[in-house]
Amino acid sequence: MTVIADDKIRGIVKNIATATFGSANVKDFLSEPTTDVDGKAALQITIVLASESSAAEMSPNAALDTLVQIHDELLKEGDDRFPFIRYATSEDLRADVDE
């Protein structure tokens, strides 16, 4: 298994998320290694949205399409870790830190 660099992962996520949701709605991208329920290597990817309204307007199909596209691009690069996708706003992330 190839593990691609974090900056390459961020580039993949940026291209797909901004194409799906628009660059005005997507503010940042976070990626960190994790494991799935079977203990296999995986990725936790957070797509930081501009506001709660951006998240509220997201269709389930758009979220699923984004996941599939990211997974497909990672596989093309040789990285077979499954990407768990989380959507959050900056305020959500600050609240997580404060808890």
pLDDT in tens, 28-64: 999 999 999 999 999 999 999 887 656 667 778 888 9
> At 29, is the secondary structure helix, strand, or coil?
strand
pLDDT in tens, 3-30: 999 999 999 999 999 998 888 889 999 9
- DSSP summary character for residue 17: H
Top pLDDT among 65 and 58 is at: 65
Q: Are 64 and 3 in contact (CB under 8 A)?
A: no
- Confidence (pLDDT) at 55: 61
CATH number at residue 38: 3.30.300.30
> Is 29 a domain residue?
yes
> Is 39 a domain residue?
yes
Report the alpha-carbon distance of residue 90 to residue 68 in Å, rounded: 24
> Is 70 a domain residue?
yes
Q: Side chain identity at 35, as an amino acid letter?
A: T
Count: domains in the chain: 1
Q: pTM for the whole thing?
A: 0.86
What is the domain range of residue 45? Answer: 6-89
